[in-house]
């Protein structure tokens, strides 16, 4: 029996993994990459430390138009299999609160061992190679013809692992969507995810640079879209930080539908409204010798206090002892329910991943094979699956790459 030929388009995390697993099955593997090198995006993950997975793995960590699809895939190549894969290549890990990193703290370590393994498995890596067109010839034998800037490649199986459109500086240019369309697949509109939110109000220019513990709740059409809590960063244009990233994909999709989106910030999420209001009344007695501009000193950031007082119509020079119950109530409402209108998400240039992509209803979760074209497989971010921060998008890359590579070579 002749050696099976597998072509992988895209040498990111999922594409390299797919190439390794296909080669381990005995396939002749060609990995095509349009950039100058493989795995460039890996180097920027986890702020250069590569948070490559997470001990906590649950359906709530992934988003898709088909909510149960991601975990159907992950369950077939779960975390322990991922760890075994990397251990076998010589990786040593460290863990912090369930977040997994290479022990060296260097993302380059992950990339280097993947490149070494591809070399060991004799994967043919072709860089600076633009894929221009793909075609299949269905018959008793299914052969894929991949036309590129560096010639034509023929394969028995084809894996598209080109990523999405997020962080285009790392090579993600959305070209895989065009290739998937050529093969008859439907693309759910890609939008930025894990990204900052832009807000309408002018007071953000006075809040820029503040980092504070807060919860963020998104609303649209009277419904809660999403909620998260952690360190929120206030910028001159709106809101940022991990909690904002976690909910941003919901804002992007709702805004794209033409619906208004409101973000409610709770600057003291450790207590309820009534408890916070009681604290302010107690603080009024404790700080009666102060003026309002120093009323929250020792609790909230000074610049944030200034904006809260202004929005509550409280003059900063008013003695604290003269604050009325209605003033305290308005101030409590602003601390606990600070409302801002979200007008946009930042662009793909700032996004860490995409929401949207190839419709996963057209993909078999057991094999990652197309339900439309025999011998065609998908891996990684190109599909309509996006994970939250914490190593989940890389786990998606490892799982889908391993599954697609294994089955493409059979």
Kindly report, residue by residue over 58-111, the tens digit of the pLDDT: 999 999 999 999 999 999 999 999 999 999 999 999 999 999 999 999 999 999
Task: Give domain status of residue 282, yes or no.
Answer: yes
Task: Give domain status of residue 256, yes or no.
Answer: yes
- Per DSSP, the three-state class of 144 is strand
Number of domains making up the chain: 2
94 lies in the same domain as 240: no
154 lies in the same domain as 34: yes
176 lies in the same domain as 290: no
Averages of pLDDT over each 10 residues, the chain, 410 residues: 91 98 98 96 90 97 98 98 98 96 96 98 98 79 89 97 95 95 97 98 97 98 98 98 98 98 98 98 95 96 97 97 97 98 98 97 98 96 98 98 98
Give the chain's largest Cα–Cα span.
Answer: 90
58 lies in the same domain as 129: yes
180 lies in the same domain as 51: yes
β strands within 251-390, DSSP E:
261-266, 338-345, 353-358, 376-378, 386-387
12 lies in the same domain as 161: yes
Name the average pLDDT for the chain.
96
Query: What distance lies between CA 288 and its chain's CA centroid?
Result: 47
Task: Give domain status of residue 229, yes or no.
Answer: yes
Residue 375, pLDDT score: 95
129 lies in the same domain as 9: yes
Task: Give domain status of residue 154, yes or no.
Answer: yes
Domain, as residue range, for 339:
196-345
Residue with tokens 């760890």: 83
From 323, 345, 367, the end of a domain falls on: 345
**Distance, CA of 377 to CA of 363 (rounded, Å):** 8
Task: Give domain status of residue 351, yes or no.
Answer: no
177 lies in the same domain as 35: yes
173 lies in the same domain as 303: no
Task: Give domain status of residue 305, yes or no.
Answer: yes
């Amino acid at each position: 029996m002749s050696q099976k030929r597998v072509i992988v388009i895209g040498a990111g995390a999922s594409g390299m993994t797919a190439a390794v697993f296909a080669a381990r099955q005995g396939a002749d593997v060609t990995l095509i990459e349009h950039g100058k090198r493989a795995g460039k995006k890996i180097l920027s993950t986890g702020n250069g430390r590569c948070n490559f997975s997470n001990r906590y793995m649950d359906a709530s960590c992934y988003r898709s138009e088909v909510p149960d699809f991601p975990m159907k895939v992950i369950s077939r190549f779960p975390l322990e299999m991922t760890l075994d894969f990397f251990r076998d290549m010589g990786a040593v890990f460290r863990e912090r609160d369930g977040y997994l990193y290479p022990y060296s703290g260097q993302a380059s370590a992950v990339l280097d061992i993947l490149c070494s393994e591809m070399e060991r498995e004799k994967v043919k890596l072709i860089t600076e190679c633009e894929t221009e067109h793909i075609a299949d010839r269905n018959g008793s034998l299914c052969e894929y013809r991949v036309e590129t800037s560096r010639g034509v490649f023929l394969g028995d199986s084809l894996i598209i692992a080109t990523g999405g459109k997020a962080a285009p500086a790392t090579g993600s240019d959305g070209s895989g969507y065009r290739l998937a369309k050529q093969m008859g697949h439907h693309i759910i509109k890609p939008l930025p995810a894990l990204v900052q939110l832009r807000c309408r109000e002018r007071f953000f220019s006075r809040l820029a640079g503040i980092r504070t513990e807060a919860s963020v709740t998104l609303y649209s059409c009277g419904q809660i879209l999403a909620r998260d809590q952690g360190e929120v960063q206030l910028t001159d244009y709106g809101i940022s930080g991990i909690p904002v990233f976690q909910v941003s994909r919901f804002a992007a999709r709702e805004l794209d539908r033409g619906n208004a989106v409101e973000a409610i910030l709770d600057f003291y999420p450790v207590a309820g409204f009534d408890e916070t209001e009681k604290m302010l009344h107690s603080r009024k007695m404790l700080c009666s010798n102060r003026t309002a501009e120093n009323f929250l000193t020792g609790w909230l950031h000074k610049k944030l206090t200034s904006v809260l007082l202004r929005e509550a119509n409280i003059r900063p020079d008013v003695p604290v002892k003269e604050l009325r119950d209605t003033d305290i109530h308005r101030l409590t409402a602003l601390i606990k329910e600070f409302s801002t209108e979200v007008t946009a998400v930042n662009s793909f240039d700032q996004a860490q991943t995409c929401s949207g992509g190839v419709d996963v209803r057209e993909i078999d979760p057991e094999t990652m094979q197309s339900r439309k074209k025999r011998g065609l497989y998908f891996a990684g971010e190109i599909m309509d699956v996006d994970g939250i921060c914490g190593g989940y998008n890389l786990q998606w890359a490892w799982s889908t790459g391993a599954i697609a590579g294994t089955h493409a070579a059979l």
